């Protein structure tokens, strides 16, 4: 318990301003991505639904399947009773304390004394690579679980089967936290530690047991993400230049390693320091070097982790990285090579603990204090804050769109990618930025948008957006049911101005309805649909649906009406009236997880117009209800739920009569 209190107080020292001083942590990723996601999640959960689908970006896109949404991560739900700035601050406090606790527990499992374990925990919890990531909570939350994963392998008084469960549970929480890159590096760390361990057989038994347990515990997330990934822009991987965009140069890496308090006078050119930065400080580095003295056994795998992590963080500047990119599949799906420094953080923490342990007790205490003070000073300087109202205040443009009766909106590409906004104060500038409803702010305020800013999105939909971005006269903007276009500049005469300011709002009179009935179909292969619609125009698609397979059953008539009567996020209800059989077209994104009932009878949801939904409707009046229920989700949820219940029971109850108290999780710390 003293250790828990100690690391809790240390974490409070790091985050005291957002916790107690009435300020809010700020970063552009926090503002543009994580804040809207949390707002949507809270709104959906409080309405009694699980946020599996987000209807407010890209015409609709899976939400829970996107790992960064962290729908299954427990700390995500701090946003329900708290506003975003306070939920973020308390989550950062908890994860900082956990990072120290988990690292100290691992250090003691490696044989370090309490003072060595304390130094290791301080280093792991306060280093710059970790604390700078506050601006990307999925990175920050994922970071803390590596020591607990490795602890399962190194804690010899845990039976192998229990160690496997602990490793699987920690790895699954790292998956749920939202950034799979860390999980892949954790796997590499496990393999390195297993290879260097004198007890390789035990490590292999633990790893072999952890793999199926991880699959069971994480089934609910793995099933959703795996299904979406195959349809997304990431299925083919990023190009080399894109994947290595944020690589650290050797000079910048050396500067971050060698310069004390470098964030006071140096900004890396490789990218946002909150994404690419790292800092160990001179005192921790000296302790780590001192830890290399003497016994070789304990530090070998951790020295290897330091070397591997720092080399991989160079990305394109590492001569062998092109070969790794070609032969290691997951490197083609990530964008942040510097995240590999996460491995170096753990290695330096262990070596620093070893170094401190080899000093006399008085010197060890002073060195640990200097490490903490140096890292705290760096963290305070890097923690950008702003007034909480920047998050809380709704944009006037959202209310204006509601008054205009706007349906689906879209930003012009020039507006979408122009990130500059002026104001008398920084807070005013960011408020004006929100007024433009830059993606993903529509998600925060319940506004349907045809565009967005998510790395995980449909590849088919991306092709349509790319065409619209290059041709404002494309009929696709009408087919996507974009009723209003937001821009900071003028638009062609096709669009009618209805509001001026920040932003200018233009009405698109040619936009097709969100829901309408057709009686004709055209069989067009997917690869030809873009060109077909360009030639035919949106008026033709008001009368016929374009399908990748032949469809039969339409009536020889015209007319019909459709009206969306319940535009929910996970369920949409439409009422139709048609003089003969036809198809209801819903101009929302298609996904295999959508189910439909027409008059209470299940009906197949067809993919039409390349990216949209349709169902058959009979003549007369009908009620069509769409529900988002991904195939296999219910089974995966049951598997995960039962697996977690089993793990919790096994951790909470004595293992067997006479079992050691150290088997219980609380004793790990």
Q: Look at residue 334 in the predicted model and tell me its pLDDT.
A: 78
Nearest to 582 by CA among 620, 528, 547: 620
Q: Is the residue at 286 inside a domain? A: yes
Q: Tell me the pLDDT band of 279, cut-offs 50, 70 and 90.
A: very high
Q: How far apart are CA 482 and CA 469, in angstroms?
A: 13
In this structure, the answer to whether residues 378 and 457 fall within a common structural domain is no
Say whether the peptide bond before residue 112 is cis (omega within 30 degrees of 0): no
Q: Look at residue 184 in the predicted model and tell me its pLDDT.
A: 93
Q: Look at residue 242 in the predicted model and tell me its pLDDT.
A: 84
Structure tokens at 415: 């507006």
Query: Residues of 277-286 as b/e, b for ≥16 C-beta within 10 angstroms?
Result: bbbbbebbbb
| Longest distance between any two alpha carbons in the chain, whole Å | 92
**Three-state secondary structure readout of 362-413:** HHHHHHHHHHHHHHHHHHHHHCCEECCHHHHCCCHHHHHHHHHCCCEEEECH
In this structure, the answer to whether residues 422 and 523 fall within a common structural domain is no
Q: Which of 455, 480, 507 is the last residue of a domain?
A: 507
Average of pLDDT values for 28-33?
Answer: 93
Q: Is the residue at 596 inside a domain? A: yes
Q: Is the residue at 224 inside a domain? A: yes
- Beta-carbon count within 10 A of 425 CB: 10
Q: Which of 481, 507, 533 is the last residue of a domain?
A: 507
Helix axes 200-217, 146-154, angle to 10 degrees: 130
Contact 166, 648 (CB under 8 A): no
Nearest to 654 by CA among 159, 117, 155: 159
Q: Tell me the pLDDT band of 666, cut-offs 50, 70 and 90.
A: very low
Q: Is the residue at 234 inside a domain? A: yes
In this structure, the answer to whether residues 422 and 502 fall within a common structural domain is yes
Domain total of the chain: 3
Whether the predicted pLDDT of 101 surpasses 90 = yes
In this structure, the answer to whether residues 532 and 477 fall within a common structural domain is no
Average of pLDDT values for 441-454?
Answer: 94
- Going from the C-alpha of 551 to that of each of 545, 587, 621, the distances in angstroms are 10, 18, 22
In this structure, the answer to whether residues 43 and 94 fall within a common structural domain is yes
Average of pLDDT values for 488-503?
Answer: 90
In this structure, the answer to whether residues 254 and 146 fall within a common structural domain is yes
Q: How far apart are CA 17 and CA 24, in angstroms?
A: 8
Q: Look at residue 663 in the predicted model and tell me its pLDDT.
A: 47
In this structure, the answer to whether residues 100 and 221 fall within a common structural domain is yes
Q: Look at residue 647 in the predicted model and tell me its pLDDT.
A: 94
Whether the predicted pLDDT of 668 surpasses 90 = no
Average of pLDDT values for 300-328?
Answer: 93
Q: Tell me the pLDDT band of 292, cut-offs 50, 70 and 90.
A: confident
Q: Look at residue 657 in the predicted model and tell me its pLDDT.
A: 40
In this structure, the answer to whether residues 538 and 444 fall within a common structural domain is no
In this structure, the answer to whether residues 489 and 576 fall within a common structural domain is no
- Domain residues for the domain of 450 are 393-507
Per-residue pLDDT reduced to its tens digit, 374-423: 999 999 999 999 999 999 999 999 999 999 999 999 999 888 877 677 77
Per-residue pLDDT reduced to its tens digit, 114-149: 999 999 999 999 999 999 999 999 999 999 999 999
Q: How far apart are CA 69 and CA 649, in angstroms?
A: 28
Where is average pLDDT lowest: 285-294, 315-324, 356-365, 530-539? 285-294
Q: Is the residue at 633 inside a domain? A: no
Kindly report the average pLDDT of the chain as a whole number: 92
Class of residue 48 by CB neighbours under 10 A (exposed 0-12, middle 13-18, buried 19+): exposed
Q: Is the residue at 279 inside a domain? A: yes
Q: Which of 466, 481, 507 is the last residue of a domain?
A: 507
Q: How far apart are CA 168 and CA 175, in angstroms?
A: 10
Helix (H/G/I), strand (E/B), else coil: 65 = coil
Whether the predicted pLDDT of 630 surpasses 50 = yes
156 φ, ψ (degrees, to nearest 5): -70, -20
Contact 130, 98 (CB under 8 A): no
In this structure, the answer to whether residues 381 and 438 fall within a common structural domain is no
Q: Is the residue at 237 inside a domain? A: yes
Q: Look at residue 295 in the predicted model and tell me its pLDDT.
A: 59
In this structure, the answer to whether residues 163 and 205 fall within a common structural domain is yes
In this structure, the answer to whether residues 458 and 575 fall within a common structural domain is no
């Amino acid at each position: 318990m003293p250790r828990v209190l100690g690391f809790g107080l240390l974490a409070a020292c790091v985050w005291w301003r957002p916790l107690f001083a009435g300020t809010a942590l700020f970063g552009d990723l926090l503002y543009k991505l994580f804040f809207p996601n949390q707002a949507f999640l809270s709104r959906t959960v409080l309405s009694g639904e699980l946020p599996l689908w987000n209807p407010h970006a890209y015409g609709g896109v899976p939400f829970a399947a996107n790992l960064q949404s962290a729908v299954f991560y427990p700390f995500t739900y701090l946003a329900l009773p708290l506003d975003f700035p306070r939920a973020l601050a308390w989550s950062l406090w908890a994860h900082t304390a956990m990072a120290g606790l988990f690292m100290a527990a691992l250090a003691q499992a490696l044989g370090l004394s309490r003072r060595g374990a304390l130094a290791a925990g301080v280093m792991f919890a306060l280093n710059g690579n970790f604390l700078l990531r506050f601006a990307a909570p999925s990175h920050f939350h994922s970071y803390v679980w590596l020591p607990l994963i490795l602890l399962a392998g190194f804690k010899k008084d845990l039976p192998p089967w229990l160690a496997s469960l602990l490793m699987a549970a920690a790895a699954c929480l790292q998956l749920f936290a939202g950034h799979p890159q860390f999980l892949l590096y954790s796997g590499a760390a496990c393999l390195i530690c297993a290879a260097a361990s004198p007890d390789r057989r035990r490590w292999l038994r633990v790893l072999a047991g952890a793999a199926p347990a991880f699959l069971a515990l994480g089934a609910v997330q793995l099933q959703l993400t795996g299904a979406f990934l195959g349809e997304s822009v990431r299925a083919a991987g990023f190009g080399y230049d894109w994947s290595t965009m944020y690589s650290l140069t050797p000079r910048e890496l050396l500067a971050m390693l060698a310069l004390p308090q470098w964030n006071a006078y140096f900004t890396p050119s490789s990218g946002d320091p909150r994404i690419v930065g790292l800092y160990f400080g001179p005192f921790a580095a000296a302790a780590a070097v001192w830890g290399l003295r003497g016994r070789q056994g304990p530090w070998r795998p951790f020295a290897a982790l330091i070397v591997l992590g720092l080399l991989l963080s160079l990305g394109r500047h590492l001569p062998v990285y092109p070969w790794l990119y070609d032969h290691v599949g997951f490197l083609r799906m990530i964008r942040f090579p510097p995240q590999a420094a996460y491995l170096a953080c753990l290695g330096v923490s262990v070596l620093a603990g070893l170094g401190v342990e080899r000093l006399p007790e008085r010197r060890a205490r002073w060195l640990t204090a200097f490490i903490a003070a140096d890292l705290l000073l760096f963290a305070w300087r890097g923690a950008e804050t702003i007034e909480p109202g920047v998050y809380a205040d709704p944009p006037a443009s959202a209310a204006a769109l509601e008054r205009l009766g706007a349906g689906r909106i879209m930003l012009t590409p020039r507006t979408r990618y122009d990130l500059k906004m002026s104001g008398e104060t920084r807070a005013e500038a960011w408020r004006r930025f929100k007024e433009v409803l830059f993606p993903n702010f529509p998600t925060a305020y319940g506004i349907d948008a045809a565009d967005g800013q998510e790395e995980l999105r449909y590849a088919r939909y991306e092709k349509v957006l790319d065409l619209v971005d290059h041709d404002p006269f494309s009929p696709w903007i009408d087919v996507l049911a974009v009723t209003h276009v937001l821009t900071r500049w003028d638009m062609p005469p096709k669009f009618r101005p209805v509001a001026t300011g920040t932003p200018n709002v233009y009405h698109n009179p040619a936009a097709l309805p969100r829901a309408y009935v057709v009686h004709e179909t055209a069989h067009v292969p997917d690869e030809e649909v873009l060109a077909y619609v360009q030639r035919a125009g949106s008026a033709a698609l008001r009368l016929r649906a374009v399908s990748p397979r032949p469809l039969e059953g339409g009536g020889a008539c015209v007319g019909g009406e459709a009206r969306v009567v319940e535009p929910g996020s996970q369920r949409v209800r439409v009422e139709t009236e048609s003089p003969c059989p036809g198809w209801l077209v819903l101009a929302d994104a298609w996904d295999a997880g959508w189910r439909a009932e027409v008059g209470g009878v299940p009906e197949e949801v067809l993919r039409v117009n390349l990216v949209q939904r349709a169902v058959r409707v009979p003549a007369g009046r009908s009620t069509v209800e769409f529900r988002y229920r991904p195939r296999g989700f219910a089974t995966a949820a049951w598997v995960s739920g039962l697996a977690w219940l089993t793990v919790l029971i096994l951790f909470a109850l004595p293992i067997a009569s006479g079992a050691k108290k150290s088997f219980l999780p609380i004793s790990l710390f």
